[in-house]
Each structure stands twice: as structure tokens, then as C-alpha cells.
Amino acid sequence: MDDNPDMTERVKRRYHTMHTGVFYRRFVLGEWRAADGLIYDGFDENIHTYTELPKGVAENRRYIAVDYGTTNPMTFLEMLNLVSMDFDIHTRYSDELRYNSFMRPRNTRSSGFALGNGFYKGVFPKNKGSDFPILRGETLAKWKAAYGGSVVDFGAGKLLNTIILRKSGISVSAFKPYFIGVSDDIHKQTSLEITAEFLEDVKRGKQYDTVFISSVFNSVPFMQDRKYIATICSALCSRHTKLVCWTQAEGGSQVTQIKHGNLDKNAVKQTTFLLEYEPNIVLGDIIAHPKVQKFHSRQEMIEIFEPVFHRIDRLENIHDFWYLEASQAKPVDKDALKEALEFEFELPYPDGTRMGMSERAKEAFAVRLGLTFD
């Protein structure tokens, strides 16, 4: 600026007093300087740093974050108390993460009826879901040769896969504790009706060729919850039933980008970041419905299913997702199954209630398996 022949000394002195810090170096000294390090000159380390968590953290306050602007608008963002969230994830926030695990409308396949990846990648790894608006002819024959004609859709999303398979002539028992329509609101009554129908199939001893857990573990927040699901699904299996699980694998693009700080626009919009209570677990969508995304290691997949199946026949990484097939379910551990049913069929809802169907679930499985729960 000082070498600008068109500026008077008076104007130069005024600009010298208008700017400080990085803006002084940019506008007065003419340096091509990006903001780095201490941006706010009013920051005082003795006042604005803490050796222990502030009182507001323990009180679960919400905070306003400010993105300072000069010529551009200043931005304000209401933020959850995320500092405390990681410490209380299994207590204060556990129910919220469980009932927010539902599929978002924005993630519903935009092409209409298209079969979910977990239902066909094991047989048709190079195809897309839109190739299968319905299964027919040779495709249906090949699919049935792999998975049979009677299946379970455990964690059935918006029932799109169930509908496609039923239209294709496949008998499907669907379980979905958090059913949503076109909005982000959980339809509890519909969820309970789906659950009741599922338990009727269980109670009458309906036999299954394959039990699918497709894109479910992606958003189940805790390892023990996933093990409960594996326990229940193994109890649905006869000697010849196959279990298929499709879920995100570690090394996927989303978790890799977050680890390296290379967030895409969607991740930034949803305020996505890593949590530390489990490896490779991400929290996003915190403004509306905080939801985790889990990226599993090979060993975690084995840890979930090996206790309840004699054989893991296939564990393959397909496009950053695990495709697992397990068979020969182990004999039912009555106490473990009871604990799993009392968890899964008493899942929480946003209104503070619970599913309230654990007794009905225990009765259905007791009749099916010919056992008595203490």
C-alpha cells in the first residue's frame, strides 16, 4: 500500500490504523497471507483456555458458534454439546442414537424400486440395484438358487426390498423397529404393526432359507447391539438356513476423508466427524437427528458372528462393503437369546416410550424353539 502513488499520506495513515493482525498484513503490507494460528486478537490464553471441562458441559447446554465475518456475513451455528457427547455416549445419548438409526428420506433410492445391494451383490457383484426393479426369469432362478424362496429382511428400511422380493414371488418376513414415511418422523404405530406381523411368522414356525441383515449395522451405534441382532437372527436359522450381512467396511471413502480432513460438501453440511468410543465410527446429522455410521473391520465382523454360527463361509470386501455369509447356526443359548429379545423388542422411541413387545417376542421364540424362558 505504501508504494501506491494514488494514495495520499493521510489516507495511508488511516488504513494503517484500521487493520490489525492478518488483515494488516494483507491490506497494508500487501502480503498474500492466509489466516493462520491466532485469528482473534482479543484471545487471551489465561481467560479463554480451560484445564478442565467448563461447567456448561456437564449441564448439557447448547452453544452458539460464531464464524467471524468482515465484508462477508457473520455466521452463527447452534451446536450440540459435543464435548460431553463422547464421554456420555453409552448413557445420556444412547437412546437418541438408537432411534435416530432410521434410514433418511434423502438416502432412499431415487430411481424408484431398486433392490438394495446386500440382497444381490453376493450373486451379481457387477450389477446395480436399478437393474432389479423386480426379479424374473433367469435372474430370479439364479437368485433363488443362492438365497431360496423364503427369507427374513431384518431391519427392513422403508420396506422397498421387501416389496420387490414379494413382487418377485419370494416369501418375506420383515422386521423394522423404526419405520418412516416421506419425512424424518418415525411412525411408531406402523413399526409396531410390522413387528407384530413378524412375530406371528416367528411363532408359527415359518422356515427360512436366508436371513438378510442388509445395511443395518451401518447405523447401529454399539457393538453389543449388533451382537444382540446376530443372536436373534441365528435363532431364526434352521440347519440349512444361510445368514447374509452387508455393511460398511473400514477404509471406506467417508471415514477416510474425515480422518484426513478432506470433507466433501455433504459431510460438511451434515456436520460429520469421528467419535472415539469405537474404531471407525462417525457421527453426523447432529443438527436434526444425530446418527452414527460404523465402518467395520474384518475382525469385528468375525467377532459378531462367530459366537453364534459354526461357519463363516464368505467374508468379501465388495466396493468398501463387507459381504458375509454364515451357516450352521450354533445351538441357542437361552439366556443370551432372552437378553437379546428383551433389548431389541424394548427399543426406545423419541417420545420417551419403548416398543413394549419383549414379552410377546419371548413367547414367539419360545413356541418356535420349544423352550421356556426363566
pLDDT in tens, 227-255: 999 999 999 999 999 999 999 999 766 66
Based on the structure, what is the number of domains in the chain?
2
Look at 245-254, 293-302, 321-330, 362-371 and tell me which has the smallest mean pLDDT: 245-254
Q: What is the mean pLDDT of residues 84-98?
A: 71
3-class DSSP state of 184: coil
Q: Is residue 77 part of a domain?
A: no
Q: Let me know if residue 163 belongs to a domain.
A: yes
User: Are 192 and 276 found together in one domain?
Assistant: yes
Sign of the alpha-carbon torsion through 194, 200, 201, 203: positive
Averaged pLDDT, 217-224: 94
Q: What is the pLDDT of residue 258?
A: 61
Which is more confidently placed, 129 or 106?
Answer: 129
Instruction: Give the pLDDT of residue 267.
Output: 47
Same domain for 198 and 291: yes
For residue 79, what pLDDT is reported?
Answer: 47
pLDDT in tens, 28-46: 887 766 666 665 666 777 7
- Which pLDDT band holds residue 110 (cuts at 50, 70, 90)? very low
Residue at 64 is within a domain: no
Beta-strand runs (E) in 155-287: 171-175, 210-214, 242-248, 273-275, 281-284
- Mean pLDDT, the chain, rounded, equals 83
Say how far apart CA 20 and CA 301 lie, in whole Å: 55
Contact 24, 53 (CB under 8 A): no
356 in a domain, yes or no?
A: yes
pLDDT for 206 beyond 70: yes
Widest CA span of the chain, in angstroms? 96
Q: Is residue 125 located within the same domain as residue 240?
A: yes
| pLDDT of amino acid 263 | 52
Q: Quick one: pLDDT at residue 16?
A: 79
Residues 230 and 154 in one domain: yes
Asked if residue 198 and residue 313 are part of one domain, the reply reads: yes
Range(s) of the domain holding residue 316: 98-369
Q: Please tell me which residue, 49 or 77, carries the higher pLDDT value.
A: 49
In this prediction, residue 70 carries a pLDDT of 55
Q: What is the pLDDT of residue 34?
A: 64
| Least confident stretch, 175-184, 214-223, 236-245, 294-303 | 175-184
Task: Give the model confidence (pLDDT) of 304-345 as tens digits.
Answer: 999 999 999 999 999 999 999 999 999 999 999 999 999 999
**Mean per-residue pLDDT, 177-200:** 90
Whether residues 272 and 206 fall in one domain: yes
Residues 266 and 166 both lie in one domain: yes
Same domain, yes or no: 20 and 145: no
3-state class (DSSP) for residue 85: helix
> For a pLDDT cut of 70, what percent of the chain falls above it?
75
- pLDDT bin (cut points 50, 70, 90) of residue 364 is very high
Which carries the bigger pLDDT value, residue 243 or residue 52?
243
Q: 171 and 275 in one domain?
A: yes
Please tell me the predicted confidence (pLDDT) of residue 264.
53
Q: Determine, yes or no, domain membership for 78.
A: no
Burial 306-337 (b: 16+ CB within 10 A, else e): eebbeebeeeeeeeebbbbbbbbbeebebebb
Residue 140 sits at the vertex; the CA angle it makes with 136 and 141, to the nearest 5 degrees, is 125
The reply to whether 237 and 329 lie within a common domain is: yes
Is the pLDDT score of 83 beyond 50?
A: no
313 and 173 within one domain = yes
96 in helix, strand or coil? Answer: helix
Judge if 125 and 268 occupy the same domain.
Answer: yes
pLDDT at 91: 72
- Report the C-alpha dihedral over residues 74, 76, 77, 81, rounded to 10 degrees: 120
In a domain, 90, yes or no: no
Q: Residue 175 pLDDT more than 50?
A: yes
| CATH at 179 | 3.40.50.150
Does 62 fall in a domain?
Answer: no
How much is the average pLDDT of 117-133? 92
Asked if pLDDT for residue 269 goes beyond 50, the answer is no
pLDDT of 372 over the 70 cut:
yes
Q: What mean pLDDT comes out for the span 199-213?
A: 98
138 sits in which H/E element: helix 137-147
> Residue 289's pLDDT band (boundaries 50, 70, 90)?
confident
Residue 87 domain flag: no
